[in-house]
Amino acid sequence: DTGVSQDPRHKITKRGQNVTFRCDPISEHNRLYWYRQTLGQGPEFLTYFQNEAQLEKSRLLSDRFSAERPKGSFSTLEIQRTEQGDSAMYLCASSLERMIDSPLHFGNGTRLTVT
């Protein structure tokens, strides 16, 4: 169990650029989640996958955000035409759906700064 890893740890981009983040979950975990956290707030749900199927996407999420989980392994989160309001910590987490008391295992996050 090497834990959940996210790449990159930090990303600085100019407004209007596209960015892509990667998450590698714990290998036997079938659920993968993306959350976003801004200062003073708790993590805000973005989307989650069960295996390769994207089961839910937040209605608050703009069409500029897209996520994939090909083959049910790693996941990518892409933000197109970034805006300053996209600056946040993007957290990935994974869990084992079969267990009622299965916690989320989080990565260290990707901190995005849009200038």
Residues forming the site for another protein (CB under 8 A): 4, 31, 33, 35, 40-45, 48, 50, 55-56, 91, 93, 97, 100-109
- Residue closer to another protein, measured from CB, 46 or 79: 46
Name the token pair of 50. Answer: 């069960």
CA distance 23 to 90: 10
Query: How far from chain centre, in Å, is Cα 5?
Result: 11
- Residue closer to another protein, measured from CB, 54 or 80: 54
Closest CB 14 distance from another protein, rounded Å: 26
Closest CB 100 distance from another protein, rounded Å: 6
Q: For residues 107 and 21, is the Cβ–Cβ distance under 8 A?
A: no
CA distance 64 to 74: 20
Closest CB 41 distance from another protein, rounded Å: 5
Query: How far from chain centre, in Å, is Cα 6?
Result: 9
- Residue closer to another protein, measured from CB, 48 or 82: 48
Closest CB 42 distance from another protein, rounded Å: 4
- Residue closer to another protein, measured from CB, 12 or 16: 12
Q: Among 87, 91, 95, which Cα is nearest to 108's? A: 91
